[in-house]
Chain A
Amino acid sequence: MGLLPEKVLNEWVIIMAPRSTTSPLILKKGDITPFIKKLTHILTVYGPVAKKTQFVFDEISEGSQLRLDYDTTILPPKKYFIPPQEEMVRFSLSPQLNITSPLEESEEATLWNGKRFVIVGIHSCDLAAIKFHDKILTQVYPDPYRTHRRERGIIIGLNCLTPCEESFCKSTMTLSSTEGADLMLTELHDSYYVDVLTETGQLVIDYTKSLFSSASKEQSKSVEQLLTSREDTFPDLIPEFEKLPERLQVGYEGEMWARLGNRCFGCGACTLVCPTCFCFDVKDRVELDLNQGSRVRNWDSCQLVDFALVAGGHNFRPTIPSRVRFRIYHKFWIEPEQIQVIGCVGCGRCTRTCPADIDMIELLTDIQEGGT
């Protein structure tokens, strides 16, 4: 290309990157630290790090912080594309009213100064969720805020080799998702086997070239075996998962929603940790000087009481059962109707988070068995 990879990386529209044809590479585990170091020179680097007994995605400055042995994280990496809180516009309340949007700034501006970033170590379930958002949030108008971030985020995926608790990714067929990743890592003894999936991934390799060597045929074979063997090690906890939308055709008036509603606290935690949930609320925030302010969008939850409340006091989903039912129908019936993809990637975060111990596997199995 003639240009330095770092220059290109800073102008490249990542979401449009064409597929790469490069053969697989090897990155020694010991070289992770210099790899991350080099990336931090031009990009913000995010990855899984330990937080007490759990893991979270966070910014990292040292390779040693990176915990690629993580099982799952509290929040999915969606927070880097759809932040929990983000300013949509800033305004000043002069009589003429001045409104500035981060989307209208100059070419090099990145959404209120956000740097380009790379997320290292995203598991397949979360990759599938990112692709899901690419689709669901562009149905009529693309969500410009998310698109802006998506175009600037490089993704380095990581193949899962052991199932984590509460997950059912084999049933959701997201166990082997790699789409959306620019590089895909697989742990192989003392190294990472690296599939270069896109031209963006190739740019990252070009930029950090000296750290990678070519993978041998034996290594490729080992990885292939490793990935195939997952078919046996990962259980299919919800057989015929793809039939859920069909099964939900009946049972809308069933008693299971009242039963579930009685257990559910309506706290909305399940939706906050969900990698595919994307609902938001919008609020205006005014500075103390009462002259400046911003319009902020926040993650919202369909489980909260005012989600479907309209002016005048009518609430279209006033009870917890009606809201629990909405969440299930949204993911397993509405979204498949809209974009032909079920809105669940089997990560199990909702089950792990639920204070009322509502188990997604149990719940979906109930529906599969025609429970009402």
Chain B
Amino acid sequence: MTYPVSLRHEKNAYQYNKARLVRITPQTPDTNLYTFEYVDPGIQKQFTFTPGQFILLSIFGYGEAPFGICSSPNKTDSFDLCIRSVGKLTNVLQNLNPDSVVGFRGPFGHGWPMDEVKGKNIVIIGGGIGLVPLRPAILDVIENRDNYGKLQIMYGARCPEELLFKDELYLWGNRRDIEYVATVDRDDEHCWAGNIGVVTVLFDRINISPKDTYALVCGPPIMYKFVLRELEKIGLPDDRVFLSLERRMKCGVGHCSHCLVGSKFVCQDGPVFSYAEVKAQRGAV
């Protein structure tokens, strides 16, 4: 094994780029949309990602954690992360003032197969916060509508107030070129006129044809089990069903071993895997 001498300078995956928090847009009581812009305009200009890729956010003094990028891949002046405050880092984040400077590494990993799905029909299935890494894919389809076939979106949340991007959901629901259905697990406040039940109830509300169709799925671990069963019933082959997996991560570049699923690193081989790949790895879903 030989290394080029300069290797650690050229390909140092532990280099942080500073970014400024532009604004916080509340989404639900515990979830916000955070807009960031790299301090160095050159870095911001060069910043590109594939829908489904993640980035590591550092608030120095508190730590670092991975988050799926949430904005359109075609937006170049800034990027968004949509984050639920559930831990130490995310609680600090929600109290940051605009103009605070944080660090980023990445983007890392493999996102949704956007090239492969060009010209094909797409079914997007999101559960709860799982809609976040799917949103860049949805936005890309909308912004380049002619590049893709039919777009069907199925979205489930625990209750109406936990639905993310409510203004956008309304627009998706009103577009003729998108078939959008949503459900909530329960509606204690009686403010919801739509479907009630877990996301799989939506399979009765929508007609998915397996021909030339790809499914992009992201949600809590329990959701995969049931959604995958439904997709199998419809006859969607395993290599056209894609899932985004979540695991604990410390490095993002295949060193720390926290995110191993079978012999695959979620951080580098994923986070998006085809169901065919996932099936070959024990303990993945």
Residues of B within 8 A of A297 (CB): 250, 256
Q: Which residue in A140, A144, A333 is a CB contact (below 8 Å) of B12?
A: A144
- Taken residue by residue from 286 to 302, chain A's Cβ proximity to chain B (1 for < 8 Å, 0 otherwise) reads as 10001001010100101
Is B11 a contact of A142 with CB atoms below 8 Å? Answer: yes
Whether, in the assembled complex, A64 has its beta carbon less than 8 Å from a beta carbon of chain B, the answer is no
Residues of A within 8 A of B58 (CB): 295
Residues of A within 8 A of B11 (CB): 141-142, 144
Cβ < 8 Å to A, chain B residues 20-64:
58, 60-64
A22 vs B246: C-alpha distance when bound (angstroms): 53
Chain A, Cβ-Cβ closest to B261: A316
Q: Which residue in B3, B258, B265 is a CB contact (below 8 Å) of A151?
A: B3
Interface residue tally for chain B (C-beta within 8 Å): 48
A359 vs B27: C-alpha distance when bound (angstroms): 53
Is B13 a contact of A141 with CB atoms below 8 Å? Answer: yes
A310 vs B251: C-alpha distance when bound (angstroms): 14
Taking each of B5, B247, B268, B283, which has the highest tally of chain A beta carbons within 10 Å of its own beta carbon? B283
Whether, in the assembled complex, A101 has its beta carbon less than 8 Å from a beta carbon of chain B, the answer is yes
Q: A284-B63, A330-B260, A334-B260 are known contacts. Are A141 and B253 too (CB-CB below 8 A)?
A: yes
Is A280 a contact of B255 with CB atoms below 8 Å? Answer: yes
Is A333 a contact of B283 with CB atoms below 8 Å? Answer: no
Q: How many A-B residue pairs have CB under 8 A?
A: 138
Cβ < 8 Å to B, chain A residues 138-189:
138-145, 147-148, 151
Whether, in the assembled complex, B207 has its beta carbon less than 8 Å from a beta carbon of chain A, the answer is no
Chain B, Cβ-Cβ closest to A148: B8
- Taken residue by residue from 249 to 269, chain A's Cβ proximity to chain B (1 for < 8 Å, 0 otherwise) reads as 000100000000000000000
Cβ < 8 Å to A, chain B residues 97-144:
101-103
B198–chain A nearest beta-carbon distance, Å: 17
A142 vs B221: C-alpha distance when bound (angstroms): 31
- Taken residue by residue from 172 to 207, chain B's Cβ proximity to chain A (1 for < 8 Å, 0 otherwise) reads as 000000000000000000000000000000000000
A302 vs B255: C-alpha distance when bound (angstroms): 13
Q: A15-B2, A140-B254, A295-B64 are known contacts. Are A312 and B16 too (CB-CB below 8 A)?
A: no
Is B1 a contact of A140 with CB atoms below 8 Å? Answer: no
A120–chain B nearest beta-carbon distance, Å: 23
Chain A, Cβ-Cβ closest to B254: A140
- Taken residue by residue from 327 to 361, chain A's Cβ proximity to chain B (1 for < 8 Å, 0 otherwise) reads as 00110011001100000000000000000000000
List the one stretch of A67-75, A92-100, A191-199, A223-231 in contact with chain B.
Answer: A92-100
Chain B, Cβ-Cβ closest to A308: B248
Is A135 a contact of B257 with CB atoms below 8 Å? Answer: no
Is A135 a contact of B63 with CB atoms below 8 Å? Answer: no
B3–chain A nearest beta-carbon distance, Å: 6
Cβ < 8 Å to B, chain A residues 108-141:
131, 134-135, 137-141
Whether, in the assembled complex, A8 has its beta carbon less than 8 Å from a beta carbon of chain B, the answer is no
Whether, in the assembled complex, A311 has its beta carbon less than 8 Å from a beta carbon of chain B, the answer is yes
Q: Which residue in A96, A147, A295 is a CB contact (below 8 Å) of B101?
A: A96
Is B101 a contact of A95 with CB atoms below 8 Å? Answer: yes
Is B257 a contact of A312 with CB atoms below 8 Å? Answer: no
A357 vs B169: C-alpha distance when bound (angstroms): 58
Q: A99-B16, A99-B60, A316-B247 are known contacts. Are A16 and B8 too (CB-CB below 8 A)?
A: no
Cβ < 8 Å to A, chain B residues 55-108:
58, 60-65, 84, 86-87, 90, 101-103
Q: Which residue in B2, B18, B263 is a CB contact (below 8 Å) of A97?
A: B18
A300–chain B nearest beta-carbon distance, Å: 7
Residues of B within 8 A of A131 (CB): 1
Interface residue tally for chain A (C-beta within 8 Å): 58
Is B64 a contact of A279 with CB atoms below 8 Å? Answer: no
Is A142 a contact of B7 with CB atoms below 8 Å? Answer: yes
Whether, in the assembled complex, B147 has its beta carbon less than 8 Å from a beta carbon of chain A, the answer is no
Is A103 a contact of B9 with CB atoms below 8 Å? Answer: yes
Is B250 a contact of A280 with CB atoms below 8 Å? Answer: yes
Q: Which residue in A15, A103, A282, A314 is a CB contact (below 8 Å) of B256?
A: A282
A290 vs B62: C-alpha distance when bound (angstroms): 12
A314 vs B248: C-alpha distance when bound (angstroms): 10
Q: Which residue in A97, A135, A290, A314 is a CB contact (below 8 Å) of B1?
A: A135
Q: A307-B248, A311-B65, A311-B90 are known contacts. Are A300 and B60 too (CB-CB below 8 A)?
A: no
Chain B, Cβ-Cβ closest to A283: B63
Whether, in the assembled complex, B225 has its beta carbon less than 8 Å from a beta carbon of chain A, the answer is no
A252 vs B283: C-alpha distance when bound (angstroms): 10
Whether, in the assembled complex, B235 has its beta carbon less than 8 Å from a beta carbon of chain A, the answer is no
Residues of B within 8 A of A286 (CB): 61
Whether, in the assembled complex, A211 has its beta carbon less than 8 Å from a beta carbon of chain B, the answer is no
A265 vs B107: C-alpha distance when bound (angstroms): 38
Is A338 a contact of B86 with CB atoms below 8 Å? Answer: no
Residues of B within 8 A of A309 (CB): 248
A282 vs B86: C-alpha distance when bound (angstroms): 19
Given contacts A282-B251, A316-B248, 9 further A-B contacts (CB under 8 A): A91-B60, A103-B8, A131-B1, A142-B11, A145-B14, A279-B258, A280-B251, A282-B64, A293-B60
7 pairs, CB–CB < 8 Å, chain A vs chain B: A97-B60, A151-B3, A282-B64, A297-B256, A300-B250, A316-B283, A330-B260
Residues of A within 8 A of B (CB): 13, 15-16, 88-89, 91, 93, 95-97, 99, 101, 103-104, 131, 134-135, 137-145, 147-148, 151, 252, 278-284, 286, 290, 293, 295, 297, 300, 302, 307-312, 314, 316, 329-330, 333-334, 337-338
